Amino acid sequence: MSDWDSDAKNASPDGEFVRDTSYIEDRIVAGLPAGSAPEQQGDQTFHWPVEEGRYRLMAARACPWAHRTVITRRLLGLENVISLGLAGPTHDWRSWVFDLDPKEKDPATGLHRLREAYDNRFPDYPKGITVPAIVEVESRKVVTNNFPQIPIDFQTQWAEFHREGAPDLYPEELRGKIDKMGAWLFKEVNNGVYRAGFAGSQEAYESAYHRLWDALDWLEDYLGTHRYLVGEHVTLADVYLFPTLVRFDPVYVGHFKASRNRIAQMPNLWNYLKELFALPGFGDTTDFREIKEHYYYTHSDVNPTRIVPVGPDMSPIAEPHDRDRLGGSPFAEGTTLPGPVPAGEEVKNPEPFQEL
């Protein structure tokens, strides 16, 4: 999503942070002829055909909402089917910038700012210029930025392109539970840290703070007897929680004032996080340096000096975990793990303890 500092002003009269959750609700779906034009489904909604090479996932290592789509794409083996464009961690109100690439332009589309893709389809697009976004490469137009739907569609609509042995992250018999858990996580945890960090009054902050920690305490207890959030293996529910947990100690504790304690001080959540971090798709898509640079630099309302802190030392996240005590396994029998990260998609700052 867009995390620039105008978000901090998006508050109700009592100071509570209220996120704009209106997105481009187009979807890329199976069953339409490759090469065909999008089919209109409603006044402003279209379905686009699943097609290898037609689309590019625009993301940023810094953004937790984009991170979940990057993880899902990698776990399912869609790297050679849907390319990946990565914006840099810092930007201004005009939108994310592809300043990690030569000449500060995305190499596949020539876009400098992500806003260009939105304006190419919707001139003077009035809403947030958010990641993740899927862009049609040839037209350089945004297709969708509906972040809750993108991982689900990667699993359900792109199945013909999944790598052999890819996990089922959204098993049909568990979808109701995954959806329910995902909705709760978004409300109480994923967006809960923002509700605390962007609160516009002391009362709103304290309410958000206690609500967030109530949820984290519940997760700590739950993960004491459950290895994963839903079922016996990793599902999309775990993909939804990981980006928030992995950002918590380096950013949310200080920057968003979620300061009761670190995740590293909560044994079940910490070991759960360590297990996920060790899996291909999770730790190898995480860049702590870009995460910290984004939050501490871009949210100038929260951090006017834009000083990025040194630390904390995140190297213990790579140490062994204790989750085997609960039985089960990350993936079902017959599942194979992703291979090496494709050339050019490696995180630029791979060490979890790498300082500025």
Tokens 């389809």 appear where? 121
Q: What's the chain's Rg over C-alpha atoms? A: 19
User: Which one is catalytic: 23, 55, 63, 272?
Assistant: 63
Q: Tokens for 120?
A: 């190419």
Beta partners for residue 47, in sequence order = 27, 39
Question: Is position 228 annotated as part of the catalytic site?
Answer: no
Q: CA angle, corner 2, sides to 17 and 71, nearest 5?
A: 110
| Residue among 136, 46, 36, 122 nearest 85 (CA) | 136
| Annotated catalytic residue within 23, 194, 252, 297 | 194
- Report the SS3 class of residue 143: strand
Three-state secondary structure of 212-260: HHHHHHHHHHHCCCCCCCCCCCCCHHHHHHHHHHHHHHHHHHHHCCCCC
Distance CA 334, CA 160 (A): 18
3 state SS of 187: helix
Is residue 194 part of the annotated active site? The answer reads: yes
- Enumerate the H helices of 84-235 as residue ranges: 115-121, 149-156, 175-185, 192-197, 202-222
Find, among 38, 35, 36, the residue nearest to 25 by Cα.
38
Instruction: Compute CA distances 353 → 61, 254, 345, whole Å.
Output: 16, 17, 20
Confirm if 289 and 194 have CB atoms less than 8 A apart. no
The answer to whether the annotation marks 96 as part of a ligand binding site is: yes
Please classify residue 146 by burial: count the beta carbons closer than 10 Å to its beta carbon, then call 0-12 exposed, 13-18 middle and 19+ buried: buried
In the annotated binding site for glutathione, the residues are 96
Active site residues: 63, 194
In the annotated binding site, the residues are 96
